[in-house]
Amino acid sequence: MNTAPAIELKGITKRFGKVVANDGIDLSINKGEILALLGENGSGKTTLMNMLAGIYQPDGGQIYADGRPVQITSPKEAFLYGIGMIHQHYKLVEVFTAAQNIILGLDEGKLDIKATNAKVKTICDRYGFDINPTQKVYDMSISQKQTVEIVKVLYRGADILILDEPTAVLTPQETEKLFLILKNMRKDGKAIVIITHKLNEVMEVSDRVAVLLKGKYIGDVPTVETTPEKLTNMMIGHAVTLNINRPTYEHPFPKLVVKGLTCIDNEGVKKLDDVSFTAMGGEILGVAGISGSGQRELLESINGLYPATGSVSFIKDDDTSVELLGKTPMQIRQTGVGMAFVPEDRLGMGLVGSMGMTDNMMLRSWKSGTGLFVDRKKPENLAKRIWKDLDVVTPGTDFAVRRLSGGNIQKVLVGREIAGLPAVLTTAYAVRGLDINSSYLIYNLLTEQKMRGVAVVFIGEDLDVLLELCDRILVLCSGQVSGIVNAHSTTKEEVGCYMTSVGGKEGGR
């Protein structure tokens, strides 16, 4: 748009162990411009910006500030180049006032809180921030806390502001206000980067969009020259064939009927909003959606681990139904309906990391039998069977599962859940972090269950997998069902549109 780039990245690469988070990325950030950095979760947006903010150092490539090569080794140094980042999780001292938080860590000689308050006030007035410098942080709303973080960065003289998903926690009105402020700052000649995966916001506020996909730089376009549709395609990439075996089950039948499921979290945010669908026996129902769209809450509420309203009824073989909502996990187990759940957090919820396979098998059977003592014999046999059948690489059934590789941990978890001969099998990100072979093993296990007549719910993040593994795909968008499509006939683009807006309308046509 105008003048030379404030920051230029050339060939930036960052690895975490074997994972390449950023792969040879070139990007320029200009003064007086709002740049949207767009990409799915895990595409490497935050990692890239963290390198600008001095939190990570790149493994390869070079950063230029005002045309000079620089090394940014700490957030403090980032400020030397005028770079300030507002992170997703605010780091404020609750019992301090706004102004006290703003000057925290600054060495300005003698502390003159009055002068600070005045200076904070000036910044606020200049851009239209609505905070009181002497208000304590614990009295503030989330959006006010965010404002404090932004002012903190401006106070330190930042000209390049990076905001990591700034609207994730804001109401629509607050988002409007934030965008107004961002535009004011742009007028003032600041360079602004917002990390996001919300297309409508990109269209509304940005001047230019840069897209990342799986750590790679896809390209950038001026916002006026693009459409949400084109951006979606850039964001999800081309379809890849995976050759996942997908036999069909002759007559799928309703197994789990979910009606009007609604969840509200501690902070009053609606995580699920009137979600209704039917999971069929003999079918894999995929759940797609940008992460944080309510996937976790969906499975946890079905399994009695998250408070929700609405109804979740399990259809028995004799066509009578059992209501599961409002029951504890133990009560659900006692109804004998056969719910299996492979949670996202394998060691934090599905397994006990410090225990061996045998004791982990007991998580499902510890209560069985009368008397005071646990029965370790049956779980041990089960552990041995899974060890052999699924080729779990472990020295023995008493070896702490925490020390196994990700693939083997998942084999233990999925193996146990399947061993209970469930009628409904719900899984969250079942192949996340797994290598190719383990992933296919899991796909096959799930398909096997489907052919047994089990209703499988598969929350996934890789659209290619969802398209080839599932029979139907339910798409969640900000806690709402934005569409349910036939996985055999849909396209990646269609699912992508549903992911970014309810009904796929704004992003679709």
Partner 1 sequence: MSTEGKMPFVRLAKRDSMAPKEVWLIRAGSILLALLLGCIPILLAGSNPFVAYGVIIKGSLGRSTYIKQTVKTAVPLLGCALAIAPCFKMKFWNIGAEGQITMGAIASTYFALFWYDKVPSVLLLIIMAVAGAVAGGIWGVIPAFFKAKWNTNETLFTLMMNYIAIGLVSWLQGGPWEGRPGSQIIPTFKPQACLPKVLGIHCGWIIVLVLVFLMHLYMNKTKQGYEIAVIGDSYNTARYAGMNVGWIMMRTMLISGAISGLVGFIFVSGANNTLYNGVASGVGFTAITVAWLSQLNAFAMVFISMILAILSKGSNTLQSLMKVPASISDIVTGILLFCMLGCEFFINYQLIFQKKKEADV
Contact footprint for partner 1 (CB under 8 A): 57-60, 62, 71, 73, 303, 305, 328-330, 332-333, 341, 343, 345, 347-355, 359, 362-364, 366-367, 372-374, 403
CA distances from 11 to 27, 41, 53, 70, 325 (A): 9, 21, 17, 14, 51
Instruction: Calculate the dihedral angle through the C-alpha atoms of 463, 467, 470, 474, rounding to the nearest 10 degrees.
Output: 60
Going along 165-304, which residue ranges are E strands?
Answer: 191-196, 208-213, 216-222, 253-264, 270-281, 283-288
Minimum Å distance from CB 436 to partner 1? 23
> 239 by DSSP, 3-state: which?
coil
Minimum Å distance from CB 403 to partner 1? 6
Nearer to partner 1, 224 or 330 (CB): 330
Give the C-alpha separation, 11 to 293, whole Å: 33
Nearer to partner 1, 172 or 371 (CB): 371
Give the C-alpha separation, 56 to 16, whole Å: 11
Matching residue, tokens 């489907």:
450
Nearer to partner 1, 60 or 105 (CB): 60
Minimum Å distance from CB 136 to partner 1? 22
Torsion region of 387: left, alpha or beta (phi above 0 gives left; psi -120 to 50 gives alpha) = alpha
Nearer to partner 1, 280 or 428 (CB): 428
**Please, is 157 exposed, middle or buried when counting C-beta atoms within 10 Å of its C-beta (0-12, 13-18, 19+)?**
exposed
Nearer to partner 1, 132 or 335 (CB): 335
Minimum Å distance from CB 258 to partner 1? 20
Give the C-alpha separation, 444 to 460, whole Å: 15
Minimum Å distance from CB 146 to partner 1? 27
- CA triplet 319, 298, 41: central angle to 5 degrees? 145
Residue 400 contacts residue 356 (beta carbons within 8 Å): yes
Angle between helices 377-389 and 357-365 (to 10 degrees): 120
CA distances from 102 to 90, 123, 127 (A): 12, 12, 16
Nearer to partner 1, 59 or 229 (CB): 59
Nearer to partner 1, 144 or 426 (CB): 426
CB atoms within 10 A of CB 344: 18
Minimum Å distance from CB 349 to partner 1? 4
Nearer to partner 1, 141 or 331 (CB): 331
Minimum Å distance from CB 73 to partner 1? 6
According to DSSP, residue 350 is labeled I
Pull the structure tokens for residue 458.
Answer: 């598969």
> 31 by DSSP, 3-state: which?
coil
According to DSSP, residue 346 is labeled I
Minimum Å distance from CB 408 to partner 1? 13
Minimum Å distance from CB 430 to partner 1? 16
Nearer to partner 1, 222 or 329 (CB): 329
CA distances from 49 to 25, 102, 373 (A): 11, 22, 54
> 85 by DSSP, 3-state: which?
strand
Pull the structure tokens for residue 223.
Answer: 């916002």
Nearer to partner 1, 61 or 508 (CB): 61
Minimum Å distance from CB 138 to partner 1? 18
Nearer to partner 1, 350 or 460 (CB): 350
Residue 191 contacts residue 159 (beta carbons within 8 Å): yes
Minimum Å distance from CB 347 to partner 1? 7
